[in-house]
Structure 1
Amino acid sequence: MSPDLRYPALSDLKATCKRRVPWFVWEYLDSATGRESVKPRNRAELDKVLFRPAILRGAIVPDLSTRFLGQDYAMPVGVAPIGMSGLIWPGAEAALAGMAQGTRLPYCLSTVATRLPEEIGPIAGDMGWFQLYPPKDPAIRADILTRAHKAGFRVLVLTVDLPGPSRRERQLRAQLAIPPKLTPAMLWQIAQRPAWALGTLRHGQPRLRLMEDYLKLDGNAPSTAHPGYLLRAAPDWDYLHAVRALWEGPLVVKGVLDPQDADPLRAAGVDAIWVSNHGGRQFDGAPPALDALRQIRATLGPEMPLIYDGGIETGLDVLRALAFGANFTMMGRGWHYALGALGAQGGSHLAQILRDDMASNMMQMGITRPEQAATQGWAPSPAPES
C-alpha cells in the first residue's frame, strides 16, 4: 500500500511509531516534564490562529521556497535537534541528514547525538546546522566548534534554556538514563520490537560519542562521571560572547521566550533568535511558544530573523507560525515519529506530507508565498468575562 494512503498525516506515523519502538524509547521521545501542560498549551495556541479563505483569485501556484540566513531551502521547515536521536531509531542522524540534503531542508545535529559531526556533516552537506549544548570547559567548547566547522556545518545553534536538568517523570518511570543502561525490563521490551532491535545491532548501542571523546581528557571529572557530565554548564552572557567570537558563520540562540531578552541578543551579534519552550521537556511552567513569538516579533520589528518551534504538526501549523512573525520553523519529534513508522524512508514521506499540506492551504488562502500568511491570519478575540 502506498505510504500516502496508509500514512496521510503525522498522526498516522505517530501511532505506528508507538507500536514499533520499545516502550522506554517511546517515553523518551514523546514525554515532557511535570504534568506535561506545555504540549497542549502549544497546540491550543496554534489552533487559535485562523485564516479567511480567499475566493475568485484564479489559479494559485504556491512557491514554498524560502531563503533564510543566506541559504535557499525548499520550504520554511527543518529538522530540530533531538539528543540521542539514534536511540529513537537506529541510524536516525544519518537518515535525517540524508533526507534533508535530498529535499533541501536544514538538519540540525545535536551535541548529544549518537554519531559524530565528522560522520554526519558530509551527509547533510550545505543543509547542516550544529546545535551546541554548552560544555563548561572552554577548551572543549573551542574544539567542538572547530570540529563542527571542519565537518561542514554552516549554522551554529546555541541552546540556552537548560540551566539545570529537568525531571521528565515518564522517562524516570521507564528507568531510562542518558546514556542508557539496560535493565531486564528494557531487554524484554526490545525483544518485542524486532525491527528496532535488529537495526540497533547493525548500528551499535547508542552512545554520546562526541562527549566520550572528551571525558578522558577532563582531569576534574569524577571516576563515575558519564559523558553528559561535561555539559553541566549554565551559560551566561559572557559565554554567549565567547561563542560568538569563536564561530564565524551564522549564530542562532535557541530557547528564547522573554521579549526582554530579544534586543540584548541582537546587540550581542546573534544572527537569528529561535523561539522555543523545548517542547515542554524542560519547564512545565513555560508559556506557549506562539504567544512568545508574537511578543518577540513586536519587540524587534520586522528585520530580525526568528525561528519557531513548539507543536508544529502540519503544513498549516507552519503557516500559522509565519503569520505570527516567524521566518522559519523547526520540528523535532515529528521526524522521529516518521522514522519509527517507516524507517529511513519516513523523513522523506513526512516532508512530502508537509509540502502538500502547505500548498493546499496556501491555495485556500489565495497566497503564492509562505510569508504572505502574515497578511491573512487572524486570531479570534477571547471570550468576554462573565
Structure 2
Amino acid sequence: MDLHARYPALSDLKARARRRIPHFVWEYLDSATGAEATARRNRAALDRVLLCPAALRGEVAPDVSCRFLERDYPVPFGIAPVGMSGLIWPEAEVILARHGAKAGIPYCLSTVATMVPEAIGPKMGDQGWFQMYPPKSADIRDDMLARAKAAGFHTLVLTVDVPAASRRERQTRGGLVQPPRLTPRLLAQVACCPAWALGIQATGMPRMRLMDSYAEDLKVGPLPSTAHMGYLLRAAPDWDYVSALRDRWDGAFVVKGVTEPEVAARAEALGVDAIWVSNHAGRQFDGAPGAIDTLSTVRAATTLPLIFDSGIEGGLDILRALALGADFVMMGRAWHYALGALGRDGPAHWHDVLVKDMESNMAQIGARHLADLPGRLVDS
C-alpha cells in the first residue's frame, strides 16, 4: 500500500485515527481547553508567517540536517512528551522510542507516561530526553532524576507552564476518569475500535506507572479527568526549583513552556541550556497568544538555543518556526495521530511526510540550508 497516496497530510492521519480510537481517547488527544481559542490562534498565527518564493535559482537540493545541543541530527525535529501516551495507542511509548532510535531523533518521555524510564531506556538508543513535572518532595525529585539518568536519558526537560490542572471541557465531556477505567459508556466506544481494544487487552489498562511508584501509600478516590495522581505529588515550580535542578542534573537542561522574554533571559543566567517556546498547544490557558507570535521576542532576549512547539501540522510549519528563530521543533500530538491511524507504521510515515514537505517547500523558496530560512521571511 502506498501510504503517501492515501495519507499525504496530517489531516488524513487525523481522520483515520478518529475512526480507530475510542471517542473518549480522541477527546483526550485532540482537545484543548476552554473554547479552544488558543489552539485556533496557534494555527492562525502560523498561517500568517509567510516565506518568499524564489525563481531562477537552479536546482535546489535542500539539506535538512542540523546540530542542536552539541549533537548532530538528520532533521530539525523530534518527538515531544505526551502524558498517558499508551492510552492513545497501545505501547505508544515503546513504538515512538524505537522510532526515535532508528531515525536518530530525540524522544522525550513524559513524567506521566504509562511506562517508567527503566522500561523505555533500552528502546531509545542515545535519543532519550526526560520531561519532568516537578515533584514537591526533594527526595522524590532526586530519585526520579537518578532513575532517568541510570536509564540512559541525557537531556532533562522541566515543564513550567502547568501550575494547576486546566479544565479541558471536551476531555471532561468525553468521560475519561483518572485513573482510567472502562465504564459501560466507554466500553461501548471501545467495542467500535477492535485494533485499539486488542492492544489494550494485551498491555492492560494504562496507568501512570512512574507516578504510581511514588504514590502507593496515598489513599485517594477517583480524580477529575484533567487532574491525576501526579497533581498530588508535584509542585508549581519557581526559580529556586530551576536552580536546584540545574545543580543536580549532569546533562543538558531545558525549560519548557516559555513565552515571556524575561523568563528566557533569567533562565540563561541560571545556566539552563535551552528554552522551549510553547503554550502547551492551547491545552492549559485559553487566553494566550499564538505561540509562534511569542517566538521572536524570546529569540531577542536570549542567546540560548530555542525549541518550538504548539500547532505544528507539517513541514512548512517547521520551516516557519526555524525562520523566526527556533533551532529545533518538537511535536507531540501529530505522532499520536499517526499511531492512531497506522499503528506501528505511523511514526515512520509521518516522519517521511515531514521530510518530503520540508524539502519541497525549501526548494520552492530557494533555501538550500536551514540557515537560509530567515532570509526568506516576508515582512508583515
Give the TM-score, by structure 1 length.
0.95
2:82 is matched with 82
Asked if the contact 2:181–2:205 (Cα under 8 Å) also holds between the matched residues in 1, the reply is no
2:103 is matched with 103
2:117 is matched with 117
Equivalents in 2 of 1:354, 1:223: separation in Å?
Answer: 43
Matched residue SS, 2:82:
coil
Residue 256 of structure 1 pairs with residue 282 of structure 2 = no
Equivalents in 2 of 1:216, 1:87: separation in Å?
Answer: 21
Equivalents in 1 of 2:25, 2:250: separation in Å?
Answer: 37
2:210 is matched with 210
Q: By how many angstroms is 1:82 displaced?
A: 0.4
Whichever residue aligns with residue 119 of structure 1, its letter is A
Q: By how many angstroms is 1:283 displaced?
A: 0.5
Equivalents in 1 of 2:193, 2:328: separation in Å?
Answer: 36
Q: By how many angstroms is 1:197 displaced?
A: 0.0
1:370 is matched with 370
Whichever residue aligns with residue 110 of structure 1, its letter is S
Whichever residue aligns with residue 247 of structure 1, its letter is W
1:360 is matched with 360
Equivalents in 2 of 1:238, 1:222: separation in Å?
Answer: 30
Asked if the contact 1:323–1:373 (Cα under 8 Å) also holds between the matched residues in 2, the reply is yes
2:225 is matched with none
Asked if the contact 1:164–1:232 (Cα under 8 Å) also holds between the matched residues in 2, the reply is no
Q: Deviations over 1:173-203 (max 9, x none)?
A: 1121232122110011001100000011112
Please show how residues 47-196 of structure 1 align to structure 2 within 5 Å. 47-196=47-196
What's the C-alpha RMSD, in Å, of the aligned pairs? 1.3
Shift of the 231–293 alpha-carbon distance from structure 1 to 2, 3 Å rule, reads farther
Asked if the contact 1:137–1:230 (Cα under 8 Å) also holds between the matched residues in 2, the reply is no
Matched residue SS, 2:41:
helix
Residue 200 of structure 1 pairs with residue 200 of structure 2 = yes
Q: By how many angstroms is 1:49 displaced?
A: 1.1
Q: By how many angstroms is 1:231 displaced?
A: 3.3
Matched residue SS, 1:125:
coil
Equivalents in 2 of 1:167, 1:350: separation in Å?
Answer: 30
Q: Which moved more, 1:123-132 or 1:17-26?
A: 123-132
Asked if the contact 1:254–1:276 (Cα under 8 Å) also holds between the matched residues in 2, the reply is yes
Equivalents in 2 of 1:304, 1:239: separation in Å?
Answer: 20
Equivalents in 2 of 1:369, 1:146: separation in Å?
Answer: 39
Equivalents in 1 of 2:352, 2:231: separation in Å?
Answer: 39
Equivalents in 2 of 1:294, 1:95: separation in Å?
Answer: 34
Matched residue SS, 1:58:
coil
Shift of the 223–342 alpha-carbon distance from structure 1 to 2, 3 Å rule, reads closer
Q: By how many angstroms is 1:224 displaced?
A: 4.0
Q: What are structure 2's unaligned runs of at least 5 residues?
A: 223-227
Q: By how many angstroms is 1:216 displaced?
A: 2.6
Equivalents in 2 of 1:270, 1:20: separation in Å?
Answer: 41
Q: Deviations over 1:105-124 (max 9, x none)?
A: 11100000001111112211
2:7 is matched with 7
Whichever residue aligns with residue 215 of structure 1, its letter is A
Identity of aligned residues (%): 59
Equivalents in 2 of 1:12, 1:170: separation in Å?
Answer: 22
Asked if the contact 1:125–1:153 (Cα under 8 Å) also holds between the matched residues in 2, the reply is no
1:383 is matched with none
Q: How many residues align?
A: 375
Q: Which moved more, 1:53-62 or 1:320-329?
A: 53-62
Whichever residue aligns with residue 249 of structure 1, its letter is G
Asked if the contact 2:92–2:339 (Cα under 8 Å) also holds between the matched residues in 1, the reply is yes
Equivalents in 2 of 1:210, 1:75: separation in Å?
Answer: 30
2:233 is matched with 231
1:242 is matched with 244
Equivalents in 2 of 1:224, 1:42: separation in Å?
Answer: 36
Equivalents in 2 of 1:276, 1:178: separation in Å?
Answer: 26
Asked if the contact 2:180–2:205 (Cα under 8 Å) also holds between the matched residues in 1, the reply is no
Matched residue SS, 1:216:
coil
Equivalents in 2 of 1:92, 1:27: separation in Å?
Answer: 17
Matched residue SS, 1:198:
helix
1:315 is matched with 315
Q: Deviations over 1:31-71 (max 9, x none)?
A: 01000001110111111111111122222111111110111
Q: What are structure 1's unaligned runs of at least 5 residues?
A: 381-386
Q: By how many angstroms is 1:324 displaced?
A: 0.8
Please show how residues 236-385 of structure 1 align to structure 2 within 5 Å. 236-300=238-302, 303-380=303-380
Q: Deviations over 1:277-307 (max 9, x none)?
A: 001111101111111111111222xx31000
